[in-house]
Amino acid sequence: MNLKRVVVTGLGALTPLGNNVQDYWKNLVNGVSGAAPITRFDASKFKTQFACEVKNFEPTDYLDRKEVRKLDLFTIFALVSAQEAFEDSKLDVEKINGDRAGVIWGSGIGGIGAFQEEVLNFGRGDGTPRFNPFFIPKMIADISAGYISIKYGFRGPNFATVSACASATNAIVESFNYIRLGKADVMITGGSEASVIEAGVAGFNALRALSERNDSPETASRPFDKDRDGFVLGEGGAGLILEELEYAKKRGAHIYAELVGGGLSADAYHITAPHPEGRGATLVMRNALEDANMQPEEIDYINVHGTSTPLGDISETKAVKSVFGEHAYKLNISSTKSMTGHLLGAAGAIESLASILAIKHQIIPPTINHFTDDDELDNKLNFTFNKAQKREVNAALSNTFGFGGHNFSVIFKKFI
């Protein structure tokens, strides 16, 4: 089958490091941490009292006040980041065939804030069910894709992907497939998450998944460091505009990179722990390379899942070595979660942006907060510790893995 080529023509970001793509990238390259004490609620009684929150963000600067009241924060993040991506692409709504334009958006949890608020309000009452009429639409994970499609009049493929922390990469891979199969010309894709609330923090604390380094939030996310003690919860979103190559060329679009491959796999091992030998991670990277018709030696940079958990970092390192062999030592590897924290279902979106921008600027963002080598890892690998590195980047691979054993990888190449 003659598959279409797919390119990236627009980017949007709303992250703990910046509320647009430019600020996000600048702070990534400069090694800035987005972690700080939680401001969204009183976290003084929680085991973890910090997170990577979106900062200096007022929804009514972007959306009508009445509309904001109908939306959970994860959908607000989706609409704002998708809008930046759309404007960046310079697409003209009037010239798009809406029947061949779609939206696929990922979120691992969806409107957990709306759910918490309504349940707490009910619990404080006398038992009479008084629920917000927008409760269900605010909560359901697919609503962001629906709102984006309504805003732009995109009537093509439209749904949400839910695969825990791999949700956004899942959305990107699905969008890629619809375009290359000739079923769409344009797709808005990405992911958003807004889980820095009491239930989110307490839930992950109960799993013992979060760092508890309350005395030093900015150094708490330390992937591949011996003293890592869990991930840092983040929030935000990112959007990408994907287009069929000839469609993009015909309208004179700026092309950031080409999306050339996507891989899927399952660990089939445990609901929260990775396979100790990285079996699923190994398979997903091999599947992505096969899908892209590329050899391991053609990859220059891996934006790893790298959550800063004791088991996860070891498992992923083993997988990288298994897939790339001796070439693993010529790669640059980095975990941008060391700066952004873990955006759960939105992680793959902001990390795809980091991979694309690494190709555009020929700079590898660092893995910050490295203080002590871990003897259980291979310290001959180049984890790009503490400082960005300039190098030739023709192809970048981005990994995201989710609870339940869901694994997705995407590969971006310099467009030629």
Which residues are known catalytic residues? 165, 305, 342
Burial class (CB in 10 A: 0-12, 13-18, 19+), 132: middle
Q: What count of residues does the chain have?
A: 416
Cross-strand bridge partners of residue 6 = 244, 259
The torsion angle over the Cα atoms of residues 340, 345, 347 and 353, rounded to 10 degrees, is -120
- Is residue 51 within 8 Å of residue 233, measured between CB atoms? yes
- Is residue 329 within 8 Å of residue 380, measured between CB atoms? yes
Question: How far is residue 240's CA from residue 355's CA, in Å, rounded to a whole number?
Answer: 12
Pairing mode of beta strands 101-106, 158-161: parallel
Query: DSSP assignment of 52-106, as one string?
Result: B---S--GGGTS-HHHHHTS-HHHHHHHHHHHHHHHHHT--GGGS-GGGEEEEEE
> What are the structure tokens assigned to 260, written together?
């050339």
- Is residue 395 within 8 Å of residue 413, measured between CB atoms? yes
> What are the structure tokens assigned to 411, written together?
């590969």
The torsion angle over the Cα atoms of residues 175, 177, 178 and 184, rounded to 10 degrees, is 80
How many Å separate Cα 171 from the centre of its chain? 10
How far CA 293 is from CA of 93, 384, 399, in Å, comes to 34, 27, 18
Sign of CA dihedral 49, 51, 54, 59: negative
Question: How far is residue 43's CA from residue 128's CA, in Å, rounded to a whole number?
Answer: 30
Question: How far is residue 110's CA from residue 127's CA, in Å, rounded to a whole number?
Answer: 26
Cα angle 119, 123, 126; round to 5: 130
Pairing mode of beta strands 186-193, 236-244: antiparallel
Question: How far is residue 75's CA from residue 251's CA, in Å, rounded to a whole number?
Answer: 30
Q: What are phi and psi of 183, to 5 degrees?
A: -95, -5
Q: Which residue is listed with tokens 């873990």?
A: 342
